[in-house]
Chain A
Amino acid sequence: MIANPKRNRPSASKLIAAVAGLLVASWALPSSAAAATPDQGQIVGMTQLLAQAGDKSLNGEPASDQAGAEQAPAKKKKLSEKEVWKKASGVPELPALPHFLAKIMPKKKHTIHKWMWVIRPVYALVIVTLVFLVLMGVYRKRSILPTRMQTAMEMLVEGLDNLICGILGEKHGRKYLPYLGALFLYIVCLNWFGQVPLMMSPSSFFACTLGLAICTFFVVQYTAFTKLGVKGVVGHWAGDPKDVVGYCVAILLIPLHIFGEFLKPLSLGLRLYGNIYGEDVLLGSMLMLGIMIFSFLPANGIPLGFPLMLPFQFLALLLSTIQALVFTLLSTIYILMVLPHDDHEHEEHAETHA
């Protein structure tokens, strides 16, 4: 029997309802951000604001708190909340849970800033737990007749397998597939969860991406030293000298190569950090613009904002995936460069013979 090609396609009305629902729901973020800012369009660098809240010279208690105003000593300048916001002119960021908490409990701003170094890894841990639970659930319930979830996961793993074994070759590719596949999946989830409301993506902090790059650095160096041996590694750094000229140039090449080895994880981390943090700043700026559009209205502080950042959220999702792919591919290529080269010649001969 010929399967009906229209069987699984969603109806037109459902699609229109989904798009309309998305457009309506996208007003939630700018409106809540507009309600949270005292002066329209001042989603300022919250980290700087929280840091200045801890700065004693600024005295960042809101002026609407009259009891606090009377108790303030006469020497210190008392700044209203609007002035504090204007002073903390940092880079606009996408508001997340700590920012909203700081708005709800303004007295605890300093505590929230002190605890940011805990809040950020907590987000990463939450993401890891969710991903782990999903994957373990799929693995436990696996069967010969797969469900849709299992098929999707199998497609994912097979795609990663093709990608990595296509570069590293069958033998080595399978050995490094767990690390590189986990790296790709983890970075994609880290980046995507930044778009979930009230969450920050941990990869918008340089510490997180540098840590991931250092993991790759250790994997690459461990591979190099176990596969090639110390003599092989130093020869690789010196450019495999074969004659006297090679040995003379080797003295120049070794420090250059060592510097390059340390530069690789730095560039890996900076690339991912810059892309994800730049997307956050872009979204924050668009959010600010969307709120300032309504500033011509007479009543100041209307909690309404135009969802100007909607197309940029889709762009952020797409670019995050590409950046995760680039990170994984670069790690693969770094591992490829330290693997012994004659393995590849043998494999190519085997493929041409087969």
Chain B
Amino acid sequence: MKGTVLQFSYPIGVALAAIGSGLGLGRAVGSAMEAMGRQPEAAGKIQTGMIVGAAFIEALTIYALITVFLVPK
């Protein structure tokens, strides 16, 4: 499938997954910032939770990226 237009499906698939994770991460980090603003002394715990949540959301994009690697050329 190297010389055809079908090879565009790899980057388009990853880009769609990236859109979704961008929206999700924006919401998560935005809520974290807001919570940190409300209660600055809990900022450490909120930050830890934000990082972990961000890693989960990011993983979904990584799953889409893996499909590019796992297909033998």
Contact = CB atoms under 8 A, between A and B. Distances in A.
Nearest to A91: B69
Contacts of A89: 73
Interface string A91-126: 100000000000000000000000000000000000
A274 B52 contact: no
A300 interface: no
Interface string B16-50: 00000000000000000000000000000000000
A326 B65 contact: no
B15 interface: no
A271 B51 contact: no
Contact of A90 (B62, B63, B73): B73
B73 A274 contact: no
A77 B55 CA distance: 49
Q: How large is the interface on B (under 10, 10 to 19, 20 to 34, 35 or more residues)?
A: 10 to 19
A50 to B, nearest CB: 15
Nearest to B73: A90
A273 B52 contact: no
B55 A274 contact: no
B59 A267 contact: yes
A270 B52 CA distance: 16
Given A48-B73, A89-B73, A274 B63 contact: yes
Interface in A30-78: 48
Contacts of A134: none
A188 interface: no
Contacts, number: 38
B52 A325 contact: yes
Nearest to B54: A322
A192 interface: no
A48 B71 CA distance: 13
A307 to B, nearest CB: 25
Contacts of A329: 52
A interface: dominant SS:
helix
Contact of B51 (A90, A275, A322): A322
Interface string A259-280: 0000000010011011101100
Contacts of B52: 325-326, 329
A273 B66 contact: yes
A325 B62 contact: no
B62 A322 contact: no
Contacts of A90: 73
A323 interface: yes
A277 B70 CA distance: 11
A281 B65 CA distance: 11
Nearest to B59: A271
A90 B66 CA distance: 14
B31 to A, nearest CB: 19
Given A323-B55, A325-B51, A325-B52, A271 B69 contact: no
Nearest to A267: B59
A273 B62 CA distance: 9
A270 B63 CA distance: 7
A213 to B, nearest CB: 13
Contacts of B69: 91, 277, 281
B51 A270 contact: no
A48 B69 CA distance: 12
B55 A322 contact: yes
13 contacts: A89-B73, A91-B69, A270-B59, A271-B62, A274-B59, A274-B66, A275-B62, A277-B66, A278-B65, A322-B55, A323-B55, A325-B51, A325-B52
| A-B pairs, 5 with minimum CB distance | A274-B62, A326-B55, A271-B59, A274-B66, A322-B55
Interface of A: 48, 89-91, 267, 270-271, 273-275, 277-278, 281, 322-323, 325-326, 329
